[in-house]
Amino acid sequence: MKLDCGPLFVYARHKAWKIARMSAPGWKLAGFDDSKWTHPISGFPLSPSRYPQFAPAVVFGIDTDACWLWSAEPPPHGMNSVYFRSEAAAPADCGRAEMILIADDHAEVCINGIPAVSCGTRTGFWGARGCARVADVHAFLDPGKNTIAAFAIDSGVCYGMCMELRTGRKPVVEELLNQSEPAEGPRFGQCPEGALRKIWSESDSGGRNVACVLRAMAGLAATDRQAVVDMLSRALESDFEEVVRDAASAASLLGLPEVLPAVLKATEARHEARTMLALVSAARKLGGRDCAPRLEALSGKLPTAKDEPPDSEEALASARLGKYLKTTIESLRKR
């Protein structure tokens, strides 16, 4: 993992992670004792020298110092899975937080105990340049120390997880747009407008918000902005929580204030806490002072998890939503 904290770049590579082959209660949470966990190895077996098409800069679609990580220990019982833990410090004035994630076969990343990003090989773009997933994770971070935990699993001969968390550099989409197609090696995934519409209209598409799709959407927005606004606005009306989360994240990543009315309308639906976090984050990124009353009206109507254990994912997401909504309203009122 590489953590970029504003003007101070902290490169958290394999020595910053602790890993284990088996989980334990509370492993995703701060305060968990991981002193007996080991460090991962980097770059194996998906090393750039062996598989240049899977070099981090290729799968991310932009330059990066991140590296592939995995365990050197043999998998127990034939189950090639790894549990990761690390800590990341975020600046107090963090206005943007984006994560890039790729895994072979699959990984889910939790921030402060709440599932924030997942990615795997079944995106429809695996092997293309820019096949990593990009997500807005601003709502999950606290100023200061944060616990990053991930579960990754593989069923084949190649395996690994590669991640970058950024808070202070150029937006990922802006960097993607500045990349030209390489003379050699994998090219960016091909995403004409028809393919983009299909991706955003299907509930089970794994290709939403991978880097090459966001690059194509940003390119389309430069010539037909309304087409992209319409795609995301319709996706925000979906009955599927993951589609709504992805659409809110895409609106934030692309910086499309024209999607704000659809975002605010979606906040009035009865979505689960994680989805509401994505929507409130989008409103915070795209909105102004006039958004504050709309969000303030949500107070008292937020999803609760009173019947869940306090350290459950649902309870943690619900508690964070209440806190994040309050700070978002305060931030909007100052604009």
pLDDT on residue 10: 32
Residue 105 belongs to some domain of the structure: yes
| Segment 258-272, tens digit of pLDDT | 999 999 999 999 889
Domain assignment of residue 281, given as a range: 189-335
Q: Which of 184, 195, 134 is nearest to 162 (CA)?
A: 134
The verdict on 331 and 251 lying in the same domain is: yes
Residue 277 belongs to some domain of the structure: yes
Residue 175 belongs to some domain of the structure: no
The verdict on 164 and 203 lying in the same domain is: no
Residue 281 belongs to some domain of the structure: yes
The verdict on 114 and 80 lying in the same domain is: yes
The verdict on 211 and 334 lying in the same domain is: yes
Backbone phi and psi for residue 111, each to the nearest 5 degrees, phi listed first: -115, 120
The residues of the chain scoring below 50 in pLDDT are 3-12
In which order are the strands placed within the sheet that holds 114-120? 18-20, 80-90, 144-154, 106-111, 114-120
pLDDT on residue 75: 76
- Average pLDDT of the chain to the nearest whole number: 89
The verdict on 35 and 125 lying in the same domain is: yes
| Segment 119-138, tens digit of pLDDT | 988 878 988 999 999 999 99
| Segment 157-208, tens digit of pLDDT | 788 999 999 987 789 999 999 999 988 889 998 899 999 999 999 888 778 9
CA–CA gap between residue 209 and residue 200 (Å, rounded): 10
Query: Distance between terminal CA atoms of the chain?
Result: 33
Q: What is the CATH number of the domain that holds 86?
A: 2.60.120.260
The verdict on 106 and 18 lying in the same domain is: yes
Residue 181 belongs to some domain of the structure: no
pLDDT on residue 78: 67
The verdict on 7 and 85 lying in the same domain is: yes
The verdict on 95 and 226 lying in the same domain is: no
Q: Looking at 170, 198, 224, which one is the last position of a domain? A: 170
Give the pTM: 0.93
pLDDT on residue 14: 56
CA–CA gap between residue 163 and residue 55 (Å, rounded): 12
Backbone phi and psi for residue 330, each to the nearest 5 degrees, phi listed first: -60, -40
Number of domains in the chain: 2
Q: Looking at 170, 198, 215, which one is the last position of a domain? A: 170
pLDDT on residue 52: 85
